[in-house]
Chains A and B, each alone.
Chain A
């Protein structure tokens, strides 16, 4: 089985994340890390490989040059190779353009499964995996709380707005996982050493037949403003009266 895992590099949620004045992700303002949910997607793939050594895992990202760090980490965790889709023309790509680039990179590589996170922490749009499935003409299963691969098919529990659904589809398919997917393993020393020798294929717009991208036709940010930071108000230490003081506060504020 050949699995592609979609990795996204994002501003670290532990940092003070910023937008540029143009309303785009300010990549310089904070530490960049592989999004936790895409590491859970990788973990889902690695568990297949733990059970069956013949499983081949390719970590795929569309992102700027710096995104190689996220791919290196994926390789050190156990992916076999990586594919970096990188081009100046991809900067500012919206969800549909991103999906087209990813689908173009995935086409012809004979993947049985593509695994993605359900939504990224910087965008939260949560549509790219379904778009990739549509562009590849294969089923999409997501967001899945759990996934099982049985020969030529995949089954899983999908989290819907008001419950869950059991799904099944033939492979090849695209799936996306939720935070219920297992937490990612840490790279081991040996993994970090061997990662340096693993192949990273680099593809630009021309080689992906995506040289005609026009970001201005897509989703464009028109304005952006920062909310003033919150400031701390009153703080009391409970001396036995905290409950009644809280009730007094809530009723003074007309909250109860």
Chain B
């Protein structure tokens, strides 16, 4: 079976990024995963153990101080070395800033083509292909590489990791030339937003727009999200107005979501917002303007004042929860 190299990302907290299990699962579908971790010497034991729990059969650790001092340099050197040792058919990374830079640089360095923003991957009789969502889900395309090793970024998340394994571990010391890499002078972890589900994998997403009018009022949307156990989204206008951090932006230039239920509050439904949520199974909107474009795609539309409806909704949901429905 062919080897599939997986780029392992470490979060600002020092733990594995939440996309790791999903990447290993996709790699398992394509072949035999080799998890590649660049880390400063002596810091990898716990991470290797975690990778085993996520089902990595093989872990390749490249020890280099540049893994944490410079952007991408350690990861790219580690992946390039793993490509030499494991002769993979594909390299998989998440579509985070780190994943994109690693894949971009690795493809340019090794002269191999990219398959970007895969929402699914397949190995059809030895040919690796990726499925992509184009123009906000208006089109679905399949692509492959003409020749060479597929360098892939993966846009989806949420699938469970494969069964735990006791990985084979190979550790090397790697000399990394970081002269052409940016130096990290400080790292600020974003405050983890309570226990809300992450947007890309949330079953329900509640989003607020400019109609909320202020950061204080935006709390109405946050409360609704929490009573529904939903992820919290927003329009770009709400982000630009500072109601909520950019990481919550849904749309063309934000996150794409495809939940069972998308609830848009005070959002007009501009085409660029729809590009991030129009593949949701069910769409509900609350907007006072009966001609708002969001209503062209809603399964259940409510024309009305959100400041009247949200508090009623909130107390009805609480009453329901209290009654144990």
Instruction: Decide whether A and B are members of one complex.
Output: yes
A63 proximal to B (CB < 8 A): no
A224 proximal to B (CB < 8 A): yes
B159 proximal to A (CB < 8 A): no
Contact A226 B139 (CB under 8 A): yes
Interface residues of A in 9-38 (CB under 8 A from B): 13-14, 17, 19, 23, 37
Count of interface residues, chain A, beta-carbon cutoff 8 Å: 85
Q: Give complex CA distance A168, B142 in Å.
A: 38
Contact B295 A232 (CB under 8 A): yes
Contact A179 B236 (CB under 8 A): yes
Contact B113 A94 (CB under 8 A): yes
Assess A223 versus B301: contact at CB under 8 Å? Given A165-B186, A169-B183, A256-B228: no
Interface string of A209-225 (1 = CB under 8 A from B): 00000111111111111
Among residues of A, the one whose C-beta sits closest to the C-beta of B191 is A163
Assess A242 versus B182: contact at CB under 8 Å? Given A121-B252, A165-B188: no
Of the listed stretches A65-73, A74-82, A106-114, A243-251, name the one at the interface; the rest are far from the partner chain.
A243-251
Interface residues of B in 182-239 (CB under 8 A from A): 182-190, 204, 228, 236
Assess A233 versus B299: contact at CB under 8 Å? Given A218-B113, A243-B316: yes
Of the listed stretches A52-60, A153-161, A190-198, A200-208, name the one at the interface; the rest are far from the partner chain.
A153-161
- The interface residues of chain B lying within 8 Å CB-to-CB of A133 are 105, 180
Q: Determine which of A130, A180, A222, A236 lies in contact with B101 in the assembled complex, contact meaning CB atoms within 8 Å.
A: A130
Interface residues, chain B, with chain A CB atoms under 8 Å away? 9, 11-13, 17, 19, 71-72, 94-98, 100-101, 103-105, 107-109, 111-117, 129, 134-135, 137-148, 153, 180-190, 204, 228, 236, 246, 252-253, 260-261, 271-272, 275, 278-279, 282-284, 286, 290, 295-305, 308-309, 312-313, 316-317, 320, 325
- Among A96, A219, A222, the one with the most B-chain Cβ atoms within 10 Å of its Cβ is A219
Assess A219 versus B190: contact at CB under 8 Å? Given A96-B114, A130-B105, A232-B298: no
Assess A220 versus B146: contact at CB under 8 Å? Given A95-B114, A164-B188: yes
A254 CB to closest chain B CB (Å) equals 9
Q: Give complex CA distance A139, B111 in Å.
A: 19
A118 CB to closest chain B CB (Å) equals 8
Assess A17 versus B12: contact at CB under 8 Å? Given A131-B107, A243-B316, A249-B300: no
Assess A219 versus B113: contact at CB under 8 Å? Given A164-B188, A233-B300, A255-B261: yes
B67 CB to closest chain A CB (Å) equals 14
Contact B313 A173 (CB under 8 A): no
Among residues of B, the one whose C-beta sits closest to the C-beta of A226 is B139
A234 proximal to B (CB < 8 A): yes
A228 CB to closest chain B CB (Å) equals 10
Assess A13 versus B252: contact at CB under 8 Å? Given A180-B246, A217-B146: yes
Q: Determine which of A131, A180, A242 lies in contact with B105 in the assembled complex, contact meaning CB atoms within 8 Å.
A: A131
Q: List 26 A-B contacts (CB under 8 A).
A: A95-B104, A99-B104, A99-B108, A124-B117, A126-B100, A126-B153, A129-B104, A134-B104, A139-B180, A160-B12, A161-B19, A162-B189, A164-B187, A166-B185, A167-B184, A169-B182, A217-B145, A218-B145, A222-B129, A232-B298, A233-B298, A237-B302, A238-B302, A238-B305, A247-B317, A253-B282
- The interface residues of chain A lying within 8 Å CB-to-CB of B261 are 250, 253, 255
Q: Determine which of A37, A173, A217, A222 lies in contact with B143 in the assembled complex, contact meaning CB atoms within 8 Å.
A: A222
Contact B141 A224 (CB under 8 A): yes
Assess A234 versus B116: contact at CB under 8 Å? Given A37-B253, A134-B104, A169-B183: no
Interface residues, chain A, with chain B CB atoms under 8 Å away? 13-14, 17, 19, 23, 37, 94-96, 99-100, 119, 121-131, 133-135, 137-143, 155, 158-169, 173, 178-180, 214-227, 230-238, 242-247, 249-251, 253, 255-256
A71 CB to closest chain B CB (Å) equals 23
Assess A242 versus B317: contact at CB under 8 Å? Given A19-B139, A133-B180, A162-B11: no
- The interface residues of chain A lying within 8 Å CB-to-CB of B279 are 227
- The interface residues of chain A lying within 8 Å CB-to-CB of B186 are 165-166
Q: Give complex CA distance A216, B284 in Å.
A: 44
Assess A242 versus B304: contact at CB under 8 Å? Given A131-B108, A134-B109, A230-B297: yes
Contact B313 A168 (CB under 8 A): no
Q: Give complex CA distance A37, B252 in Å.
A: 12
